[in-house]
Amino acid sequence: MNLNELYEVVVKRQPNDKEFLQAVDEVFDSLKVIEEVHPELLSDDVLKRIVEPERQIIFRVPWVDDNGVTQVNRGYRIQFNSAIGPYKGGIRLHPSVNISIIKFLGFEQIFKNALTTLPMGGGKGGSDFDPKGKSDAEVMRFCQSFMTELYRYIGPEVDVPAGDIGTGAREVGYMFGQYKRITRDFSGVLTGKGLTFGGSLTRTEATGYGLCYFTQALLKDNGTTFDGKTVAISGSGNVAIYACEKATQLGAKVVTLSDSNGYIYDANGIDLDLVKEIKEVKRGRIKEYVDVHPEATYVAGERPWSVKCDIALPCATQNELDIEDAKKLVANGVFCVCEGANMPTTPAAIKYLMENGVYYAPGKASNAGGVACSGLEMSQNAMHLSWTFEEVDEKLEGIMNEIFRQCRDTAIEYGHEKEYVIGANIAGFLKVATAMKAQGTV
């Protein structure tokens, strides 16, 4: 069966899962390069298995709100691939969550985790629960109910969930507490834990910092640096905040951040202490920024891609940068787009950016710093020790440099220099495929 034929099988099996099909299509597009040069590396048996999750768990999550009313959400955990390690990946809490979104995220995670060089398989979970506007007590009751079902499927050597959209330190803490209460097992079953109970220094910063380390490696390889560049970032959550921090430390000026209601533009560079106060302490909205900085602007209902910048780092959600946005970015002189979010750039936008000579890096490579640091948290938990911030940060930078090297060198090896998406997909795939073949048809 060739890649086109297998893609038709995947479509037939889940015709409505558009995000998942988009993610598979992108990977298959890259694998066509191997199909042409080295068909023997594409085993039919491996390909057929890699697009089907090993296990999909869907469950009811009932909880009682502050008014005493029962609420019901749907919980998911997709254990996609365990060829190179225990399932590993975050939990997304957002009203848009459905099986397609969790499957696309789980599929991406397989290749991302392989690129980190650490022994982690691919998984993802979540729920259509919306933590926004809920009290701490409601969030706690939801997280406890979610874990009361999930605990039987996970474990430190089985499946290790973590944060994603809507799941931060608060939610991981509540889930960890409930897991421990049910199992009596104090172990590294989740990552992104608080620093007083097994969390790793640098995990909070890791995805955003890692994105900038990857981008820095890419820029260096192309003869430039962050220094003096203007950067547009979308989102104002965990990834966006720490991408803004590191890009600024590396000499860039970050001029935008956003949330699902609009974006802020500050020509003087984002005041990140204020953003942290609004988002991390008050759990407020990004438009509150202009209350303190009236010289900055807030644009409601728009995304930040019409702003003039050299480098764009989409850090909010999937398909948030489309072909119209890509055209605006190119017209304004952007030369580099590295993804902090998972699949934020639409296929047409990726094509347009690359055709116009923009360096483009896919999230499964450039945002792998978060899960890489989670892997380091697992190592520390297994050894019952903790490394300093500097030690973890140094390891993180080393891993991101190595991921960039794999993307660059694999792209060159297959005759597609600077097409980092091809390098990422092929390098990640070959590692997992080799392990799957060695373990037989399971």
Q: Which residues bind ligand NDP (CB under 6 A)?
A: 94, 163-166, 207, 235-240, 259-261, 315-317, 320, 340-342, 367, 370
Residue 178 lies near ligand 2IT (rule: CB under 6 A): no
- Please, which residue, 113 or 381, has the CB nearer to ligand NDP? 113
418 is catalytic: no
Residue 89 binding partner per list ligand 2IT, ligand NDP, none, with a CB distance cut-off of 5 to 8 Å that depends on partner kind: ligand 2IT
Q: Rounded to an integer, what distance in angstroms lies between the CA atom of residue 288 and that of residue 267?
A: 17
Q: Which does 150 bind (CB under 5 to 8 A by kind): ligand 2IT, ligand NDP, none?
A: none
Identified binder of ligand 2IT from the candidate list 154, 162, 219, 430, rule CB under 6 A: 162
Q: How far is the CB of 56 from ligand 2IT (least distance, A)?
A: 18
Q: What are phi and psi of 233, to 5 degrees?
A: -120, 140
Give the range of 59-67, 83-91, 255-263, 389-397 binding ligand 2IT by CB under 6 A.
83-91
CB 78 within 8 A of CB 124: yes
CB closer to ligand 2IT out of 154 and 371: 371
Give the angle 156-158-164 at the CA atoms, nearest 5°.
75
Q: How far apart are CA 56 and CA 375, in angstroms?
A: 23
**What is the smallest separation between the CB atom of 168 and ligand NDP, expressed in angstroms?**
6
* Position closest to ligand 2IT via CB: 90
Residue among 384, 425, 385, 389 at smallest CA distance from 407: 425
Instruction: State the minimum distance, in angstroms, from the CB of residue 88 to ligand 2IT.
Output: 5
CB nearer to ligand NDP: give 85 or 340: 340
Residue 237 interacts, among ligand NDP, ligand 2IT, none and using kind-specific CB cut-offs from 5 to 8 Å, with ligand NDP
Angle, helices 389-413 vs 420-438, to 10°: value is: 100
Closest-CA residue to 393 (of 371, 412, 369, 409): 369
- Find tokens 């989102």 and name the residue: 235
Q: Which does 235 bind (CB under 5 to 8 A by kind): ligand 2IT, ligand NDP, none?
A: ligand NDP
Quote the tokens at residue 114: 């392989």
CA-to-CA distance for 315 and 234, rounded, in angstroms?
5
Beta-bridged to residue 57, according to DSSP, are 77
> How many Cα atoms occupy the beta-carbon half-sphere of 352 within 13 Å?
17
Binding-site size for ligand 2IT (CB under 6 A) equals 11
- The smaller minimum CB distance to ligand 2IT, of residues 42 and 376, is found at 376
Establish if 191 lies at the interface with ligand 2IT (CB under 6 A).
yes
Residues 6+ apart with CB under 8 A from 249: none
From 124, 134, 253, 431, active-site residue? 124
Q: Is 219 helix (H, G, I), strand (E, B) or coil?
A: helix
Closest CA to 254 of 210, 318, 315, 312: 312
Residues 208-247 that bind ligand 2IT (CB under 6 A): none
Other CB atoms within 10 Å distance of the CB of residue 127: 27
What 8-state DSSP symbol labels residue 408? H
**Contact string (CB under 6 A) for ligand 2IT, positions 298-337, x = contact:** ----------------------------------------
* Near ligand 2IT in 340-399, by CB under 6 A: 342, 370-371, 374
Is residue 322 within 8 Å of residue 347, measured between CB atoms? no
One of 24, 80, 87, 88 touching ligand 2IT (CB under 6 A): 88
Q: Which does 236 bind (CB under 5 to 8 A by kind): ligand 2IT, ligand NDP, none?
A: ligand NDP
Among 53, 86, 89, 106, binds ligand 2IT (CB under 6 A): 89
- Please give the full DSSP string across 123-176, using - where no structure is assigned: EEEEES---TT--HHHHHHHHHHHHHHHGGG-BTTTEEEE-BTTB-HHHHHHHH
Give the active site residues.
124
